Amino acid sequence: MSEERLFLKAIKNKPDDRTARLVYADWLQERDDERGELIRIEEELPTLPIHSDRYWELKPRRRTLLKAAEKPWLMQMGYGSTDYQPVFADVPTGWKERWRLLREFVERWYRIPMQDVGGPLKLFPKAARKRAPWVGEAECQSVDDALSHRKVRAGLPPSLREWMLFIRELQLGLNEFGRGTGDDHNFTESPKQIDFFQQQGYRECFLVRNEDRKEPDPQVWQSSYGDEPECVSPHVTTLALHYLLTQYEPQFGEPPAEQRMTQKFARRLAKYFPVRSNFDETQIYERSNVIALWIPKSPFTGNDPCIHVKARSEADRAEVHTALWE
């Protein structure tokens, strides 16, 4: 038996033995084998906060190394899994860190490679229109070009600018994202506010007030049918979470169910979901391939407290239904 097979056998017998993996990584790197670097990255990433700088420094290199590695070897090592694993175990308060969590969720759930916050602006080059032919010429502009064209002043809240970058990446990665919904993501500035998201043929508009534009992750207000605006979200990132997980459901999920957070219901959720966190007042519950959001009030679901449950195709449908909907 070759020396490498001995390493692989030892890892198979004790898959959680990190020392054995690192010794194998040393052996590979001594032979200028890039798989050694991949092992080190794979072993370091789970020890890092998902929203940390170091995590996002390692991601591009990890992506490159995963593409170069052979699938049978990756399966033996347990790397490159297509299962979704929880993301929101630790929800920070910073706008940049929150956007990183949302981006990591998209990458793990939808398998779309996502760049770091504040990345390249050209999200719709003309060559990309072959992948997304429904994209118009105006959307081929960079975010900053679009702002200049619409005469939006400097000093845009960074989280609001990130909203546009995030939406454009989703549209490019998921060709059907937002199609047929009537949603429009464009900036329009007036003396009192910045409109950035319109629904139902502009009858409902989400906006940030000018007095809040110095906040990095400002409150979001909603104006419906010309009524006075109402505050509907404490942060732009909170609205993005709700929009992503309640409005867009290409994979199977249950419709929202009205549900108050009683002690009995909280115990049932805690029993089924090993990971729980708070994103402002929204409670997030996660397990492999399944995520649930309990929302006390959302502009997308009405005023009643409700829970959204989403499951990926890899999840056991029967298990999801039995545990949550009996």
Q: In the Cβ-directed half-sphere of 107, how many Cα atoms lie within 13 Å?
A: 18
- Are 58 and 21 in the same domain? yes
129 and 190 inside one domain: yes
| Residue 310 shares a structural domain with residue 218 | no
Looking at mean pLDDT, say which of 86-95, 261-270, 298-307 comes out highest. 86-95
Domain boundary among 212, 244, 276: 244
Residue 184, judged by CB atoms within 10 A of its CB (0-12, 13-18, 19+), counts as middle
Three-state SS for 127? Answer: helix
- Residues 112 and 224 both lie in one domain: yes
Number of folded domains in the chain? Answer: 3
pLDDT band at 22 (very low <50, low <70, confident <90, very high): very high
Cβ contact 219:233 at 8 Å: yes
pLDDT of residue 252: 45
The DSSP output letter for 257 is: E
83 occurs within a structural domain: no
pLDDT digits (tens, 9 = 90+) for 30-53: 999 999 999 999 999 999 999 999
Residue 69 neighbours by CB distance under 10 Å = 17
Tens-digit pLDDT profile for residues 152-165: 556 789 999 899 88
The reply to whether 233 and 100 lie within a common domain is yes
Question: Mean pLDDT across the stretch 273-278?
Answer: 94
- Contact of 217 with 238, CB cutoff 8 Å: no
Single out the residue in 191, 215, 244 at which a domain terminates. Answer: 244
In a domain, 305, yes or no: yes
For residue 111, the enclosing domain spans 95-244
Model confidence at 25, in pLDDT bands (50, 70, 90)? very high
Residue 209 lies in a domain: yes
Phi, psi (degrees; rounded to nearest 5) at 266: -60, -40
* Residue 169: pLDDT band with limits 50, 70, 90: confident
Whether 70 maps to a domain, the answer reads: yes
- Over residues 185-237, the pLDDT tens digits come to 888 888 889 999 988 766 789 999 999 999 999 999 998 876 788 999 999 99
Instruction: Select the more confidently predicted residue: 247 or 309.
Output: 309
Residues 232 and 138 in one domain: yes
Distance in angstroms (rounded) separating the CA atoms of residues 156 and 213: 6
Q: Same structural domain for residues 104 and 200?
A: yes
Task: Name the pairing type of β-strands 204-209 and 275-279.
Answer: unpaired
Q: Write out the two tokens for 138.
A: 């105006």
Is residue 299 in a domain? yes
C-alpha dihedral, 244 to 232 to 267 to 314, nearest 10° = -10
pLDDT recorded at residue 268: 87
